[in-house]
Structure 1
Amino acid sequence: MSETLVTVVGNVATQPMLKNTASGVPMARFRLATTERRWDRVADRWTDGHTSFFTVWAYRMLGENLAASLGVGEPVIVQGRLRVLEREDKREDKREDKREEKREDKGNTHVTVAIEAVAVGHDLSRGTSAFRRVSRARPELVERQLRQQENAASGGVPEPVPG
């Protein structure tokens, strides 16, 4: 089975939200809006066409960096795997006489078009951006540094640093 990879240029429509999955993996989500633009020869100007919305998901480091970097209204380019998700609402049985025969009464079907991002960046054709590399410290070094700070604060002897 093949994947459908897409690249979409648009604007961040909702503030990215960062959460952890049930297994502890960082995951960010936001809505992306893209509006087609057409040249109207009669009016001699550009006009807006239909606006499409996508839910963008990003996991791990990409999700963390995305949530720290993007804001509503910013122009972005998103590349990733296209996902079409369907879900159906269940309708409540609002009949007055519940003794009637049960009917098959399905709810509304909702379709969401999502992109599982593999790359996200600002659209530099519409502005500038400054890249900052993120450093991730190793947990054992962070713990050692915290112990050293606690020892120094309490007047204790600092731990030797392994060479």
Structure 2
Amino acid sequence: MNETLVCAVGNVATQPVYRELAAGASARFRLAVTSRYWDRDKNTWTDGHTNFFTVWANRQLATNAAASLSVGDPVVVQGRLKVRTETREGQQWTSADIDAVAIGHDLARGTAAFRRAAKPETAAPAPPRPEPDWQTPEEPADAAEPQRSEPVAVS
């Protein structure tokens, strides 16, 4: 399948919104990506145009992103680019979304302390069941017919 994979470097523009859905955890936030260029006339770096992307994360990535990201954090996002066009109230809107595969803080612009996420709790395994006793149990002496010590003659 042909997909457009992108790597975007920018800043978290909105606080991540976390939701628990039937299909699992989901989180989304806006990412601001501003190009920079060297302005020869001013002899300085200058900010160019800013693009905004909606970043979607699922499952464990969503849980970790919601717990780790704040507005203004510099991040690197890798994922699949999805460009959508829709009409709302007679106006045409185009939006660019990234279905994230990986999200991380941009260590070129700061430090981070990594902590492994606790593994989701799984149901405890059921205790082992005892092996069935396949032998026929012997009946107690008082429950059966009285046992005779002498052989009985049959005629």
TM-score range, shorter chain: 0.7 to 0.9
CA distance in 2, matches of 1:17, 1:73: 15
Please show how residues 83-94 of structure 1 align to structure 2 within 5 Å: 83-90=82-89
| Aligned amino acid, residue 15 of structure 1 | Q
| Aligned amino acid, residue 6 of structure 2 | V
Which aligned runs of 4 or more in structure 1 are off by greater than 6 angstroms?
none
Q: Which residue of 2 aligns with 1:150?
A: none
- 1:44-73: CA deviation from partner (whole Å, max 9, x where unpaired): 101111000000000000010000000000
CA distance in 2, matches of 1:52, 1:26: 26
Bigger Rg, which one = 2
Q: Specify whether residues 137 and 27 from structure 1 end up closer, same or farther in structure 2 by C-alpha distance, changes over 3 A only.
A: closer
CA distance in 2, matches of 1:38, 1:83: 27
CA distance in 2, matches of 1:9, 1:122: 9
SS at 2:71 equivalent: coil
Q: Which residue of 2 aligns with 1:129?
A: 112
CA distance in 2, matches of 1:138, 1:11: 32
Q: Is residue 91 of structure 2 the alignment partner of residue 108 of structure 1?
A: yes
Q: Taking structure 1 as the reference length, what is the TM-score of the superposition? A: 0.73
Q: Is residue 45 of structure 2 the alignment partner of residue 46 of structure 1?
A: yes
Please show how residues 1-163 of structure 1 align to structure 2 within 5 Å: 1-21=1-21, 23-90=22-89, 107-141=90-124
Give the CA deviation at 1:139.
4.2
CA distance in 1, matches of 2:123, 2:36: 52
CA distance in 1, matches of 2:115, 2:95: 33
CA distance in 1, matches of 2:100, 2:123: 31
Q: How many residues were matched structurally?
A: 124
CA distance in 2, matches of 1:59, 1:138: 18
Which 5+ residue runs of structure 1 have no aligned equivalent?
Answer: 91-106, 142-163
Instruction: Work out the percentage of aligned pairs sharing the same amino acid.
Output: 56
| Aligned amino acid, residue 51 of structure 2 | S
| Aligned amino acid, residue 134 of structure 1 | A
More helix by share: 1
Give the CA deviation at 1:85.
1.2
- 1:21-43: CA deviation from partner (whole Å, max 9, x where unpaired): 3x241000000001110101111
CA distance in 2, matches of 1:32, 1:137: 28
Q: Taking structure 2 as the reference length, what is the TM-score of the superposition? A: 0.77
Which 5+ residue runs of structure 2 have no aligned equivalent?
Answer: 125-155
